[in-house]
């Protein structure tokens, strides 16, 4: 009997995109009696979905580029692709760091939302126009477009006058 493998990528995506932001939003709303509004949603969504997720992805891509090449894009036996994936990882670390720091510097949130949200939107569109190479690419597509949508709403309700 074949043993089912736990999809850690899916767990990471669900945790950083839904569970952890919602837990923080609810906790702050209850403990500090902060109203649940777009500034509060953005605070934790940018921190977790952009900051933590991209920082984690960037570290994984930089240290283990083969995972992204093979498990997301289904590129096998291509040593040349690993250098490109590693550089993608460096960019993700930078975007993720901006999202992390936005938790402590609220003036960074719009910039982190715009840059991280645009990244997810463009990456999601790229996935839309490709036939999914793997389950993980489908997960990436759905989560990228979801994050882009939430960030658009955050920016619409908080930044645009």
Averaged pLDDT, 94-107: 97
Alpha carbons 58 and 86: distance in angstroms, whole number: 8
Alpha carbons 143 and 36: distance in angstroms, whole number: 22
Q: Which residues contact 96 (CB under 8 A, 6 or more apart)?
A: 50, 51, 52, 53, 54, 55, 56, 57, 58, 116
Output the CA torsion 153→95→91→135 (10° steps). -50
Alpha carbons 130 and 139: distance in angstroms, whole number: 13
Confidence of residue 81 (pLDDT cuts 50, 70, 90): confident
Could you tell me the residue ranges of all domains in the chain? 8-157
Q: Which residue has the tokens 């569109």?
A: 125
Q: How far is CA 16 from CA 10, 86, 93, 112, 121, in A?
A: 10, 22, 15, 16, 17
Confidence of residue 68 (pLDDT cuts 50, 70, 90): confident
Query: Tell me, what's the pLDDT at 83?
Result: 87
Percent of the chain with pLDDT over 70: 97
Question: Angle at Cα 48 formed by Cα 18 and Cα 99, nearest 5°?
Answer: 150
Q: Which residue has the tokens 């997301």?
A: 72
Q: Is the pTM value of this prediction over 0.85?
A: yes
What is the per-residue pLDDT across 22-32, written as a single tens digit (0 to 9) for each?
999 999 999 99
CB 42 within 8 A of CB 109: yes
């Amino acid at each position: 009997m074949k043993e089912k493998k736990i999809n850690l990528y899916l767990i990471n995506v669900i945790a950083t995109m839904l569970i952890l932001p919602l837990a923080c939003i609810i906790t702050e709303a209850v403990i500090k009696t902060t109203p649940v509004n777009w500034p509060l949603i953005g605070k934790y969504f940018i921190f977790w979905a952009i900051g933590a997720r991209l920082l984690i992805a960037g570290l994984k891509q930089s240290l283990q580029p083969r995972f992204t090449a093979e498990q997301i894009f289904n590129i096998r036996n291509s040593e040349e692709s690993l250098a490109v994936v590693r550089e993608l990882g460096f960019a993700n670390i930078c975007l993720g760091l901006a999202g992390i720091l936005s938790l402590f510097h609220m003036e960074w949130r719009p910039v982190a939302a715009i840059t991280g949200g645009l990244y997810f939107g463009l990456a999601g569109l790229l996935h839309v126009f490709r036939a999914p190479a793997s389950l993980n690419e489908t997960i990436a597509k759905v989560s990228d477009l979801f994050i882009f949508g939430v960030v658009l709403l955050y920016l619409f309700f908080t930044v645009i006058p």
